[in-house]
Chains A and B, each alone.
Chain A
Amino acid sequence: MSGPVTPEPLPGPAGEPPRIALKAGGRPILQVEDISLSFGGLKALDRVNLEIREGEILAIIGPNGAGKTSLLNVISGVYHPQQGRILFEGQDRTRFRPHAVANQGVARTFQNLGLFRAMTVLENLMTGRKKFIRTNFFLQAMFWGPAQKAEIEQRERVEQIIDFLGIEHIRKVPVGTLPYGMQKRVELGRALAAEPKLLLLDEPMAGMNLEEKEDISRFILDANEELGITIALIEHDMGVVMDICDRIVVLDYGSKIADGPPAEIRNHPDVIRAYLGTTDDQPPPASATGDITDRAGRAGGGPIEET
């Protein structure tokens, strides 16, 4: 059933040697300048400024409803901000549609899964290779020559990712029938298949057990270090965030309240206040390891439905 796949580390983008992660100090790959986004009267984002630097792993954290997903939606072109600019590699692309953002080299995953449920794992990952398939409609209709060749080439690349994520056994299973954790993994694979420069992950480990979280953390670190992919991720598990991220941005009520390396954020008074809803400057006892999904005293808004 399977093709001949040899386990090997995932090579870098075709033609380029793997880049060394530049970490903090890298030049900005994406700049968000003074962005505001409202839904009716509700300000989901309020004059947010931030930059994502080449080669880093950036965490975006904040209580429920802080505007984290909205920020990703604005960056990936799902929503267009009422105010402000977005620059990708120095070029203004504030009003780009999602497909144009994707073709610039930005991939993302969704908080509540954005897979093509009736399609198999393989087909889902193959959609990530779309921009590399340049054969025309008529050749595809005959599945002949260049069309077949392109399919095979992209299939080989996808098999490497399948291998990398350890999902060989479910290759031909429709993703809708897989357990939640597995679907999250497949969605990460689909984003990686696009060979993005910038990867946006919306709670990639939500609802996973410790072991699964460790796996995903490993994949994220490998993607960053071996493939040189810049990553921005939203995550509530502070343990994971502190472990794998180079820098943290904290949002609260649509505004950025802090931005810095983990050690600094951990003791930032505004952050502690945002999470505990007090003016007490004592660090919260469980903040370094536990989930900080909910702000104490704020009526907990559930996860935002996304389609």
Chain B
Amino acid sequence: MIYRESGQFASSYAKDMRMFPLLQDRWAFGALLVFAFVVIPLIANDYWLSSILTLFLIYSLSAIGLNILTGFCGQLSLGHAAFMAVGAYASYNFAVRLHTPVLVNFLLAGFVAAAVGLLFGLPSLRIKGFYLAVATLAAQFTIEWVLVSFNWFAGGSMLGAIDTPPMNIMGWDVSSNLDKYLLTLSVVVVLAIVAKNLGRSEVGRSWRAIRDLDVAAEIMGIRLFPYKLLAFMVSSFYAGVAGALYAFCYLGSLEVTAFELAVSFRLLGMIIIGGLGTILGSFLGAGFIVLLPILISQAIVFLHISGASDFLANAELMIFGGLIILFLIVEPYGLARLWQTIKEKLRLWPFPY
């Protein structure tokens, strides 16, 4: 009798519509927050904080953005990482040119990315499916090209990589890896909750209606174009903020190659493996893609498997690829669905009938 809904009858629609209707889920969410904000800072070392956890959070945020566009609204995008680049460069420019406060910077980075997302979402008026996906590839290439070609965006510097300025939020010097982790975590938690809220409101329902059957959505009075554009904007906003965090809290510098096409594909992989159209899935998928390669390489070291280093690097990739394929065969609806299934089982345990 651990995970049950028995005895929990929602006494009002308000309670039934809560973000986590089950008491156990609310507890789990609270425990997770305590773990992330309190326990991890106590136990995690610098390497984990700077190289793994912060990156995991940033990718999760970006994946949420892609999930809004692709998982919620059903518009496939192959250029999501480019909007991260827009956010990274925008936040840098606001910081060095206008000296706006850090959080305002991140917000503005999101809005600039949203505006660019709006622009590249315009083709969705006319085209959909794979054709639209190809149009989003154009976003990837155009944005990368613009950022590389005009060094105004990199603050006029001729150097390849530019360091981001130090961050200070109302007296809090965000300089250590722990500080950066905590800042990232806070932003991600807030935006994840916002995404969850959108998902259970009218906007989210309209997006999912468009995804499931656009003709019927239109018949129900949903205007396709504004809602698709909104999805492009919100999705790009998330990518933009993620990009700003990437530059300021993870990399500490600006670099276009951090947002290349391969990253767009990796983000797509995250939401497919994690679960399309779920916020939880964005985190699980990001965890899978970020953490698994590390675990595999650690396992190789641990098992004392020897060989040429390039062989080992390839072996890592092959194991990684194999696991993804295996996983998609076992649970095509993603980790979030797997988690759901486990919960269903738990709910019935020990009497499965």
A residues sitting closer than 8 Å to B (CB atoms) are 1-4, 76, 78, 97-99, 101-103, 107-108, 110, 114-119, 123, 126-128, 130-131, 133, 135, 137, 140-143, 147-148, 150-152, 155-156, 159, 190, 194, 306-307
In the complex, are the beta carbons of A143 and B215 less than 8 A apart?
no
| Cross-chain contact A143 with B208 (CB below 8 angstroms) | no
12 new A-B contacts, CB < 8 A, other than A3-B10, A116-B217, are: A2-B16, A101-B219, A114-B213, A114-B219, A118-B208, A127-B220, A131-B221, A137-B203, A140-B201, A140-B202, A151-B201, A156-B13
Interface assignment of B12: CB less than 8 Å from any CB of chain A = yes
- Give the residues in chain B near A148, CB-CB below 8 Å: 14, 17
Residues B17 and A194 in contact, CB atoms below 8 Å apart: no
CA distance A142 to B205 in the complex (A): 15
Decide if B222 is an interface residue (CB 8 Å cutoff): yes
Is B209's CB within 8 Å of the partner chain A?
A: yes
Residues of A within 8 A of B14 (CB): 148, 152
Determine whether the beta carbon of A108 is less than 8 Å from that of B10.
no
Contact B277 A115 (CB under 8 A): no
Interchain residue pairs with CB less than 8 A apart (5) = A78-B215, A102-B220, A114-B213, A140-B197, A152-B13
A115–B216 CB distance below 8 A: yes
B5 at the interface (CB under 8 A from A): yes
B19's closest neighbor in chain A, by CB? A143
For B13, the chain A residues whose CB sits under 8 A away are 3, 151-152, 155-156, 159
Q: Does B200 contact A (CB under 8 A)?
A: yes
User: Could you tell me if B215 and A102 are in contact, using CB atoms closer than 8 angstroms?
Assistant: no
Given A1-B5, A143-B197, answer yes or no on A307-B215 (Cβ-Cβ < 8 Å).
yes
Judging by beta carbons under 8 Å apart, are B201 and A143 in contact?
yes
B202 cross-chain contacts in A, Cβ below 8 A: 126, 130, 133, 135, 140, 150-151
| A4 contacts across to B, CB distance below 8 A | 11-12
Inside 8 A of B10's CB, which chain A residues have their CB?
Answer: 1-3
- The chain A residue with its CB closest to the CB of B230 is A137
Residues in A whose Cβ lies below 8 Å from that of B200: 143, 151
Q: Does B323 interact with chain A (Cβ within 8 Å)?
A: no
- The 4 A-B residue pairs with the shortest CB-CB distance in the complex, in nearest-first order: A102-B221, A114-B216, A140-B201, A116-B212
Encoded as 1 (CB less than 8 Å from any A CB) or 0, chain B from 209 to 252 comes to 10111011111111110000010000000000000000000000
Smallest CB gap from B15: residue in A? A3
Decide yes or no whether B28 CB sits under 8 A from chain A: no
> Which of A114, A143, A151, A306 is the most central at the interface, judged by chain B CB atoms within 10 Å of its CB?
A143
Task: Provide the residues of chain B in CB contact with A151, threshold 8 Å.
Answer: 13, 17, 200-202
Would B16 and A141 count as touching, CB distance under 8 A? no
Task: Say whether B212 contacts A117, CB under 8 Å.
Answer: yes
Which residues of B lie under 8 Å from residue A156 when comparing CB positions? 13
Chain A positions within 8 Å of B302 at CB level: none
Contacts of B11 on A, CB cut-off 8 Å?
4
For A108, the chain B residues whose CB sits under 8 A away are 219
- For B220, give its contact among A194, A306, A307 (CB under 8 Å): A194
Q: Are B201 and A118 in contact (CB under 8 A)?
A: no
Determine if A1 and B17 form an interchain contact, defined as CB atoms under 8 angstroms apart.
Answer: no
Q: Does B194 contact A (CB under 8 A)?
A: yes
- Whether A141 pairs with B194 at a CB distance below 8 angstroms is yes
Closest Cβ of chain B to A141, distance in Å, is 5
Shortest distance between the CB of A221 and any CB in chain B (Å): 23
Name A1's contact: one of B9, B19, B224, B230 (CB within 8 Å). Answer: B9
Q: A140-B201, A152-B14 are in contact. Are A130 and B222 (CB under 8 A)?
A: yes
Within 8 A of A (CB), among B183-217: 194, 197-198, 200-203, 205-206, 208-209, 211-213, 215-217
Interface contact A155-B213, CB-CB below 8 Å = no
**Most chain A beta-carbon neighbours within 10 Å: one of B200, B206, B211, B220:** B220
Known: A4-B11, A151-B17. A78 touches B212 (CB 8 A): no
Complex formed: what's the CA distance from A5 to B17 in Å? 15
- B337 CB → nearest A CB, Å: 11
| Interfacial residues of chain B within 1-54, with CB under 8 A of chain A in the complex | 5, 9-14, 16-17, 19
